[in-house]
Amino acid sequence: MYLYHFGLTELPFTLTPNTNFYLGIQPHDEALAVLLTALKTGEGFLKVIGEVGTGKTLLCRKLLNEIPDHFVTAYIPNPYLNPDELRRAVACELGVKQAQRMNVQLLTQRIQERLLTLHQQGHSVVLILDEAQALPEESLEALRLFTNLETESRKLLQVVLFAQPELDQRLAQAHFRQLRQRITFSYQLRAMTSDEVNYYINHRMSVAGYKGAPLFEPAITTKIAKASKGIPRLVNILCHKMLMLAYGQGLYRLTKQHLDSAINDTEDAQKVSNSALLTLATVTLVAILFASYFVWERSF
């Protein structure tokens, strides 16, 4: 789309979590350090909470990449599973054969045997769940029971939950107090500051291959920080639309008008009150997308 226009080798502001674009800003580095330290000490339950779009999935994938080699990981990206489905998903991740065919009692026994085998081989096992706020109530209890599997000195299974704040609201209920008390470390991801947004934008442009003078000037990134409320996903959306608008107009610099148009075209961004800009944004973006689709169709 605008890659060649701005001299880029890849799109810098896609919404797909890509660890190549990981930036060690304070909240993410702190969360990663807390997780790695707690896992090495053998803690049972760990939890990272963050609002929508604050980079939980990217951090989750970074953890999977950075975790020491002696860990065996079971990763469940979509945990909207009933207890039976959850057990079978964990069993499959751990390499338990024919997990889908066993009854619950036998499956639980095979999971425990597999965990003991891995422990005897010098491995630690960690179950990582993204979007953990989606776990049904009965599955949260099943998850707690998983951590009852232990030797005399160490848990056989550690659990890391990445979730939206709704999980904390659910765990605050009295009947979840046993699970709540087993969470030994918890980290709350915050939004980026204005300086971090500026650093974040220029970092992603650099990783994407941009080599010219900064396209996003400090005055622009300050406004992006305010409009996005420091949420990385919203920053990505706004920057992507600004680049699209400049490309569609044949321009090589980004302006406040591009930002205002992108803001008005973006859900959840802090709006500017100018209906004319909204119309311009919608018409221009639709035209660019249609033209890009037409070029793509012609290439096949």
Cβ–Cβ < 8 Å for 189, 32: no
User: Which residue ranges in the chain fall short of pLDDT 50?
Assistant: 275-277, 279-280, 283, 290, 293-300
pTM assigned to the model? 0.86
In a domain, 21, yes or no: no
Task: Tell me the angle at which helices 256-264 and 218-228 cross, rounded to the nearest 10 degrees.
Answer: 10
- The domain boundary, picked from 188, 215, 239, lies at 188
User: Could you count the other beta carbons within 10 Å of the beta carbon of residue 289?
Assistant: 13
- The domain boundary, picked from 152, 171, 188, lies at 188
Count the domains in the chain.
2
**Cα 5 from Cα 272, distance rounded (Å):** 28
For residues 252 and 265, membership in a common domain is answered with yes
**Please, which residues have CB within 8 angstroms of residue 245's CB and are 6 or more apart in sequence?**
258, 261, 262, 281, 284, 285, 288
Residue 254 belongs to what domain range? 3-15+193-298
Q: What is the pLDDT of residues 123-145, one digit of tens each?
A: 999 999 999 999 999 999 888 88
The reported pLDDT for the residue numbered 276 is: 44
For residues 66 and 51, membership in a common domain is answered with yes
Residue 21 is encoded by which pair of tokens? 């674009």
In a domain, 20, yes or no: no
For residues 55 and 109, membership in a common domain is answered with yes
Q: What is the pLDDT of residues 248-288, one digit of tens each?
A: 899 999 999 999 999 998 988 887 655 444 544 554 555 55
For residues 173 and 251, membership in a common domain is answered with no
φ/ψ (deg, to 5) at 183: -80, 105
For residues 166 and 261, membership in a common domain is answered with no
- The domain boundary, picked from 162, 188, 214, lies at 188
For residues 50 and 149, membership in a common domain is answered with yes
The reported pLDDT for the residue numbered 216 is: 96
CATH of the domain at 168: 3.40.50.300
The reported pLDDT for the residue numbered 152 is: 66
